[in-house]
Amino acid sequence: MPQTAHVIGAGVIGLATAFELTERGVPGARVTILDPDPASGATHHAGGMLAPAAEVQYRQEPLFPLMLESAARYPSFVDRLHSATPLPTGHRTDGTLVVAGDRADAGHLEDLTRYQHTHGMAVERITVREARRMEPSLSPAIAGAVHIPGDHQVSPRLLVAALRDALTRRGVRFVADEVTNLVRDGAGAVTEVVGERTRHDATGAQVILANGLGAGRVGGWFDETNPLRLRPVYGDILRLGVPAALDPLVSKVIRGFVEDRPVYLIPRDDGTLTLGATSREDIQPKPRLGGVYDLIRDAVALAPGVEETTLLETTVGARPGTPDDLPYLGAVAENLVVSTGYFRHGILLAALGAEAGARLALGESPDVDLRACAPVRHSHL
């Protein structure tokens, strides 16, 4: 009998995992995706940088191989998706510039570049003059620059729209319901997926728990307390309109540090710019004025033309954080795979996470070392 799968959550991870299941021969008509409001979570707000080098942070070494491997898989992921839908994904390979606002930021950038080099990442030191030749809108006052040709981008909203279209074309069923509970049999296998309004027989089916922060609220699949230690890390992010006379204001992703605060500008194919993002754990789910002010001031310091743009949107997303910044990805029962906790890197890690999640669900080797991502590793915390 062909495989059947219930995917809980229609953010980038759930959708991409469902896509990889259908790529591996699971008939679309046998895949159900449950989500009360598809693509409304962190994915909707994300910048979409595929930045295994620029996103490097000290003491996150176990993440680096996963980020590099996922970046390497992105072209194939996007190509296969483009064969399944005519919709665009906003995948761009123009590379990334990282610039420093002042001399202290330049020192920080130099240290980071050395660290990236020790981890084998392709990061090129360039002069400010070279950076301004690449991106004439950069301020002459910037104090340092590096070029990262291998850090790319997608438009997360386009990517998930393309995934939803591809899955719909393949016959995948979307159910608008919030999953509350999983029912297990005596051997621990999931037999039923229970939502607020619907119930789904899961006997003999594969269940993938991929609902971001919501995974911490789904009951029934563990013995005592939910082992996932997810927390929201909020990010304020803006969408800007670029006047025709200035378009394009920048042609590749510009990241920067201004007085040690990170900021980025992402040019989109529709002529808009994304300006992001703050990182805060103050449980304030509305845009925080101080954070928005910092973003605008810092972006103007790096590229003064930003002052001429128009403010199209200000939103906040909640990144699904974990105590060690690594995702929760692994099989926790015979027919249950957990795939969440992608924190700051879920768009980048979607290519790897989706393929590994689908392989695990189909009883195959995940083709990547996931020991550091065991979903129950924080149950003692």
Ligand X SMILES: Cc1cc2nc3c(=O)[nH]c(=O)nc-3n(C[C@H](O)[C@H](O)[C@H](O)COP(=O)(O)OP(=O)(O)OC[C@H]3O[C@@H](n4cnc5c(N)ncnc54)[C@H](O)[C@@H]3O)c2cc1C
- Of the candidates 46, 101, 125, 49, the residue with the CA atom closest to the CA atom of residue 303: 101
Sequence-separated contacts (24+) of 281-286 with Cβ below 8 Å? 281/231, 281/232, 281/233, 281/234, 281/321, 282/234, 283/232, 283/234, 284/234, 284/316, 285/232, 285/234, 285/316, 285/318, 286/316
CB atoms within 10 A of CB 381: 7
Nearer to ligand X, 41 or 132 (CB): 41
Asked if 277 touches ligand X (CB under 6 A), the answer is yes
Asked if 52 touches ligand X (CB under 6 A), the answer is no
x/- mask, ligand X, residues 235-274, rule CB under 6 A, reads x-x-------------------------------------
> Which residues from 316-335 bind ligand X, rule CB under 6 A?
317, 319-320
Which of 33-41, 140-148, 242-250, 329-337 is the region at the interface with ligand X (rule: CB under 6 A)?
A: 33-41
Q: What's the closest the beta carbon of residue 310 comes to ligand X, in angstroms? A: 20
The beta-strand segments (E) located in the chain are 5-8, 31-34, 49-50, 96-100, 124-126, 144-148, 152-153, 173-175, 179-184, 190-195, 199-201, 206-209, 231-241, 253-258, 261-267, 272-276, 310-321, 328-333, 336-340
Asked if 348 touches ligand X (CB under 6 A), the answer is yes
C-beta of residue 98 within 8 angstroms of C-beta of residue 116: no
Q: What's the closest the beta carbon of residue 35 comes to ligand X, in angstroms? A: 4
Asked if 18 touches ligand X (CB under 6 A), the answer is no
Q: What's the closest the beta carbon of residue 153 comes to ligand X, in angstroms? A: 8
Q: What's the closest the beta carbon of residue 304 comes to ligand X, in angstroms? A: 24
Asked if 345 touches ligand X (CB under 6 A), the answer is yes
Which amino acid is present at 168? T
Distance CA 3, CA 336 (A): 13
Nearer to ligand X, 106 or 208 (CB): 208
Q: What's the closest the beta carbon of residue 39 comes to ligand X, in angstroms? A: 6
Asked if 275 touches ligand X (CB under 6 A), the answer is no
Q: Give the interface with ligand X as residue ranges (CB under 6 A).
A: 8-14, 34-43, 45-49, 178-179, 211-212, 214, 218, 235, 237, 276-277, 317, 319-320, 340, 342-348
